[in-house]
């Protein structure tokens, strides 16, 4: 794993150089995936790396955890609170659609959550532009395979260094890099609504998805869920669908 980490760091430097850019930026949530990426970019670009902590109606504990990540790797950071921005934007959408009697209450929870992810993406690109940095994503192999990310939200990035690493390998990497143990062992969550955990929402576990990706046997029920999530999310791993040239 040490060798793979070194290769990833070299790969990050090469991609930034090839793009003619200066460094890299990542959103730091207080979860393990972004903690690993923060450590990687700090090692790759000691003086040209940046983390953004972007609370958006978030549990205050997330910010505390994100600051622990910052402390553990020493990356520069800014805190940009998006709660008010989200309230104004999503509030206006809700008001207009309600006035026309077209507001879909059931769809609203996910719409609200995905808007948070897309506001974070917008913020990352605006700040990246200021410094001439590339935006680095945090998706691991399990999230990528199942499409467990917001299209053009946390999925809207320039580089995806962890995309071939299972969640288990990301944990292994985190220990080597020096991510605090409490960040490594806490339940993965998108923090998109109160009490949300990835595994509750997906209906299977990262251990099962990791096993499936390694070609190991998994219970029929988990296999079905993983394959359904994968089938449903092809569009997220592709460019926007274009018609043939008429
Ligand atoms: N077949 C198709 N071809 C082309 N486009 C298609 C499509 N089906 C849907 N779409 C489009 O895609 C949209 C649905 O995709 P999307 O907007 O991503 O929304 P969706 O996949 O429904 O939701 C995002 C999922 O990712 C999870 N998430 C989000 C952010 C962070 C994390 C985390 O782990 O931290 C997890 C979140 O909890 C939720 O389960 C539709 O509204 C539609 O515009
Ligand atoms: N409050 C936040 N501030 C900054 N970035 C955030 C915030 N919330 C989410 N993100 C970004 O969105 C990404 C996707 O979230 P996701 O939950 O998959 O990863 P994680 O929190 O790093 O790890 P875990 O899956 O263990 O929770 C994060 O890695 C991070 O880059
Ligand atoms: Mg998280």
What is the rounded CA–CA span in Å between residue 114 and residue 187?
Answer: 20
* Residues 174, 168: Cα–Cα separation, whole Å: 10
Nearest to 225 by CA among 215, 234, 237, 212: 212
Q: Quote ipTM for the complex.
A: 0.97
Tokens standing for residue 101: 């009697």
Token representation of residue 117: 């992810």
pLDDT of residue 197: 87
Handedness of CA 126, 132, 138, 140 (dihedral sign): positive
58 lines ligand 2 (CB under 6 A): yes
Other Cβ atoms less than 10 A from the Cβ of 159: the count is 19
Extents of the domains making up the chain: 1-194
* Residue nearest (by alpha carbon) to ligand 1 atom 23: 150
Pocket test for ligand 1, best of 109, 197, 205, 235 (most atoms within 8 A of CB): 235
Could you read off the pLDDT of 96-136 as tens digits, one per residue?
999 999 999 999 999 999 999 999 999 999 999 999 999 99
Task: Report how far ligand 3's centroid is from the alpha carbon of 189 (Å).
Answer: 4
Tell me which fold the domain 1-194 belongs to: Rossmann fold (3.40.50)
List of long-range contacts for 105-110, beta carbons under 8 Å, 24+ apart? 109/193
C-alpha R_g of the chain: 18
Q: Which of 20-29, 31-40, 81-90, 200-209 has the lowest mean pLDDT?
A: 200-209
The H-or-E segment that residue 35 falls in is helix 32-44
């Amino acid at each position: 794993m040490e060798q793979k980490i070194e290769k990833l760091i070299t790969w990050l430097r090469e991609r930034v150089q090839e793009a003619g850019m200066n460094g890299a930026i990542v959103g730091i949530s207080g979860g393990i995936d972004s903690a690993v990426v923060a450590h990687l970019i700090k090692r790759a670009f000691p003086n040209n790396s940046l983390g953004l902590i972007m609370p958006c109606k978030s549990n205050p504990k997330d910010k505390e955890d994100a600051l622990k990540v910052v402390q553990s790797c020493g990356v520069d950071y800014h805190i940009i609170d998006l709660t008010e921005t989200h309230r104004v934007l999503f509030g206006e959408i809700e008001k207009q659609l309600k006035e026309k009697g077209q507001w879909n209450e059931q769809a609203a929870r996910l719409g609200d959550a995905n808007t948070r992810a897309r506001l974070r993406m917008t913020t990352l690109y605006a700040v990246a532009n200021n410094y001439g940095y590339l935006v680095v994503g945090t998706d691991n192999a399990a999230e990528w395979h199942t499409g467990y990310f917001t299209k053009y939200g946390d999925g809207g990035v320039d580089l995806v260094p962890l995309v071939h690493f299972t969640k288990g390998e990301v944990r292994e990497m985190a220990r080597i890099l020096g991510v605090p143990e409490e960040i490594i062992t806490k339940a993965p969550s998108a923090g998109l609504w109160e009490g949300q955990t990835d595994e509750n929402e997906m209906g299977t576990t990262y251990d099962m998805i990791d096993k499936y990706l390694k070609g190991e046997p998994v219970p029929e029920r988990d296999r079905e869920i993983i394959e359904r999530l994968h089938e449903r999310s092809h569009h997220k791993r592709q460019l926007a669908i274009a018609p043939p040239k008429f």
